[in-house]
Structure 1
Amino acid sequence: MKRRQFMAMGAAAVAAGVAGACAPLAPMTRGGAGSAARPATDAAAFAAARRYAELGVGRIAYVERGAGEAALFLHGAPRNGYQWRGAIDRLAAHRRCLAPDFMGLGHSQIPEHQSLAADAQAGMLASLLDTLAIGSVDIVASDSGGAVAQLFLSRNPGRVRSLLLTNCDVEPDSPPAKVKPIVEMARAGTLDEMTAQWLTDKGLARSTFGAAVFRDPAGFADETIEYYIAPLLSTPLRRAQYNAFHAAFEPNPLAGIEAELKRSTVPLRVVWGAADDIFAQSDAEYLDRVFPNSQGVRRVPGAKLFFPEEFPEVIAEEARRLWRV
């Protein structure tokens, strides 16, 4: 695939019921997420709150806010837990909110030969919860984090109280067609080279990646781009792991999971960006069909893949409804 084609289409996917209406949505704030009426935690404050858990798989970075029953927020690619800052601002009064960085992304520090596949990520989460003495969680997940959430649920059904999924992988659509060129670049060891351009040219990051995943890419702030991309390129090992994370999207990490999900009694709510063209719109209905205790689908008009960062008030509203708080 030519570089121009990739930048216009594939870069967006580096990541990788009842229809409800929503109120008019406000643009992102300077921090890159949240409504104009309620500024989100900025990058410096989020970084200052970062903690580390020493696990067998490595040193896992996470941010924790709030108290009581725990909620686990699982990010997409190439992002990290900072994606959920606006939602956590709104939900920390109701839950002990945990936003870890997946192995190979963000600020987690992983040894060279550790698997970065989705199944290994699910195992890491179980170890993290054990280390933090957390028995069960409500999960909020998007993009590739949604695949990890489904795998975690299938392997730890007693540890999940509820599941809120936004646009993400499902078994028949993992990885989606627009992600496959990214997988090819990752396997060739060149995905990091393309991504590095976003650090030196923030306008390019907004006009390619940002335009494909946000309704308003102008709100994809410089500090947000730095917070996501800089750690991925910080060392040769981190660059290799960034490629490896995406190369692990194939083969399909969710192959064979449908039968297990059909046996789940966990309440599910699907909140789907209606303007996303990376994950199929029909994937939302698939999740609604497969989970016996689905609470239906809410479509977010005009919203693209990474709308949870852009409109955290939608996530907070739906989470509170699902959690009954």
Structure 2
Amino acid sequence: MSGEMPSSAARTTAPDVGRRRFLMLAAGAGAAGLAGCASWPHAVTPAMDATTFHAARRYTRTAFGDIAYVERGSGPAALFLHGFPLNGFQWRGALGRLAPYRRCIAPDFLGLGYTRVAEGQSCAPAAQVAMLVALLDTLGVESADVIASDSGGAVAQLLVARHPERVRSLLLTNCDTEQDCPPPAMLPVIALARQGRFVDDWLGHWYRDHALARSAAGIGGMCYANPAHPSDEAIDTYFGPLLASQHSRDLAHAYAIALEHNPLAGIAPLLARSRVPVRIVWGDADTIFAPDNADFLDRAFGRSQGVRRLPRSKLFWPEERPDVIAEEARKLWREAT
């Protein structure tokens, strides 16, 4: 790919260029919420805005660094694992809907969001798994119901394979699989990350021009079904911390580069033996991960509860359709007990 960043006008009028440039970012979404929540025994807590979310952020010190997370609710724990290049803010709608039923914990991965990474710490998927175990230990959580998206789904699979006792159930949305990790669309991102350019060349342009970010050439058109997404506050919350310093840029690039060599290679026997109940909900309009990946996951897990498909939803549909996350999570939790 060219070493020059196309102008805003060129990228806005050439969706195919934007698609090629961003088909690796992992994002996506659906359109509206589902009905049926009126029958729930608890009222839905409104989604947090950015100000409330930032105010709720806590930090837990581990050997991996000071891990940023937001927590809502009480009772058995639920762990929410976000995608790239997002952070825990992705789950703000789901947290409010599921807080009446779980102690909902949404951390920021090493290299993304607001987590303060320890000097010399790896941002590879295996390190993310070890960090999550340390976080759960520090928070006094023996096991959790895990909900994961995009590259967070790869980390979740590794968590199930290596620490099955820490996972009560697993709800996976569009994400990496052993046969598609990283997806071809991610390769240009990794190449730019190796050059130290991805954060500035892509995220920086979208951070400064929100309309461009939501255009057909931006993360919005590529990964969200609703043209109003991502919102202004989501763009600021996702990209702002990654652009904050050269150090934060380097960490985000390290996160992407670590995905180059398939971290899920050889995981099949461990997933097949797993007794963790798994549900897959897949946006079929995703431009990053192929629709048949959902069926691959369904076959891969020893205790899959099947696949639900969302025809018009893309990669980061959980941000747009938190009602679906809440509905599917509660159904899975009932069946897992």
| TM-score, normalising length: structure 1 | 0.92
SS at match of 1:119: helix
SS at match of 1:240: helix
Partner of 2:233: 223
Correspondence for 2:211 among 200, 203, 211:
203
1:279 aligns with 2:289: yes
In 2 relative to 1, CA 238–62 (structure 1 residues): closer, same or farther, beyond 3 Å? same
Q: By how many angstroms is 1:158 displaced?
A: 0.9
SS at match of 1:115: coil
Q: Distance in 2 between matches of 1:320 and 1:243?
A: 35
SS at match of 2:69: strand
Q: Distance in 1 between matches of 2:122 and 2:213?
A: 28
Q: Distance in 2 between matches of 1:41 and 1:217?
A: 21
**Greater shift after overlay, 199-208 or 126-135?**
199-208
5+ residue gaps, structure 1, are: 17-22, 28-36
Q: By how many angstroms is 1:6 displaced?
A: 5.5
Partner of 2:37: none
Q: Distance in 2 between matches of 1:280 and 1:128?
A: 32
Partner of 1:172: 179
Q: Distance in 2 between matches of 1:250 and 1:63?
A: 29
Q: Distance in 2 between matches of 1:317 and 1:12?
A: 29
Q: Distance in 1 between matches of 2:119 and 2:25?
A: 22
Partner of 1:314: 324
Q: By how many angstroms is 1:301 displaced?
A: 1.9
Q: By how many angstroms is 1:113 displaced?
A: 1.5
Residues 269-322 of structure 1 show CA distances to partners (whole Å, capped at 9, x for unaligned) of 000001112101110000100112110000012000000000100000000000
Partner of 1:7: 18
Q: Contact 2:31–2:313 (CA<8 Å) still a contact in 1?
A: no
Q: In structure 1, give the amino acid aligned to 2:211.
A: G
Q: By how many angstroms is 1:220 displaced?
A: 1.7
Q: Distance in 1 between matches of 2:224 and 2:23?
A: 9
Q: Contact 1:87–1:316 (CA<8 Å) still a contact in 2?
A: yes
| Segments of 4+ moved more than 3 angstroms | 2-6
1:261 aligns with 2:261: no
Q: By how many angstroms is 1:193 displaced?
A: 1.3
SS at match of 1:212: helix
Partner of 2:133: 126
Q: Contact 1:15–1:246 (CA<8 Å) still a contact in 2?
A: no
Please provide the CA RMSD for this pair.
1.8
1:294 aligns with 2:301: no
Kindly report which structure 2 residues correspond to 1:98-177, keeping only aligned pairs within 5 A, or say none. Answer: 98-177=105-184
Q: Contact 1:6–1:181 (CA<8 Å) still a contact in 2?
A: no
Q: Distance in 2 between matches of 1:15 and 1:103?
A: 17
Q: Distance in 1 between matches of 2:72 and 2:231?
A: 23
1:192 aligns with 2:202: no
Q: In structure 2, give the amino acid aligned to 1:250.
A: E
SS at match of 2:142: coil
1:69 aligns with 2:69: no
Q: Distance in 1 between matches of 2:192 and 2:80?
A: 28
Residues 182-233 of structure 1 show CA distances to partners (whole Å, capped at 9, x for unaligned) of 1111111110111111111111111111111110132321111000000001
Q: Distance in 2 between matches of 1:262 and 1:6?
A: 39
Aligned residues: 310
Partner of 1:31: none
In 2 relative to 1, CA 24–78 (structure 1 residues): closer, same or farther, beyond 3 Å? closer
Q: Distance in 2 between matches of 1:10 and 1:217?
A: 19
Q: In structure 2, give the amino acid aligned to 1:8.
A: R
Q: In structure 2, give the amino acid aligned to 1:289.
A: R
SS at match of 2:117: coil
| TM-score, normalising length: structure 2 | 0.88
Partner of 2:54: 47
Q: Contact 1:74–1:149 (CA<8 Å) still a contact in 2?
A: yes
In 2 relative to 1, CA 14–51 (structure 1 residues): closer, same or farther, beyond 3 Å? same
Q: In structure 1, give the amino acid aligned to 2:79.
A: L
Q: Contact 2:26–2:223 (CA<8 Å) still a contact in 1?
A: no
